[in-house]
Amino acid sequence: TEVEPVKATVERPPPVVTVQVDGDAPDPWTSFEPLIPELRGPLLASGLETPTPIQAHAIPLLLSGRDVVGIAPTGSGKTLAYL
């Protein structure tokens, strides 16, 4: 008997994020709304609705001209934050 694959969505709680910043830091983002439309549009079109925790903290820091070292698990969105 052939078994058909089943698609499932798993809801996971957001990871605990520890952020260490020297000096003042901008508030983390809760959406991609602050990005210019040319960047925000493709993100939303690809299904990304909200930044991951590493993106929420790193993008505002990077856009403010700060250096960032981000340490997070594979698949957490680090690369997108640096782009």
Please give the Cα distance from 45 to 58 (Å, whole number): 22
Q: Give me the pLDDT at residue 33, please.
A: 94
The pTM assigned to this predicted structure is 0.74
- The mean pLDDT value for 38-55 works out to 91
Reported confidence tier of residue 59, pLDDT bands at 50, 70, 90? very high
- The mean pLDDT value for 23-30 works out to 91
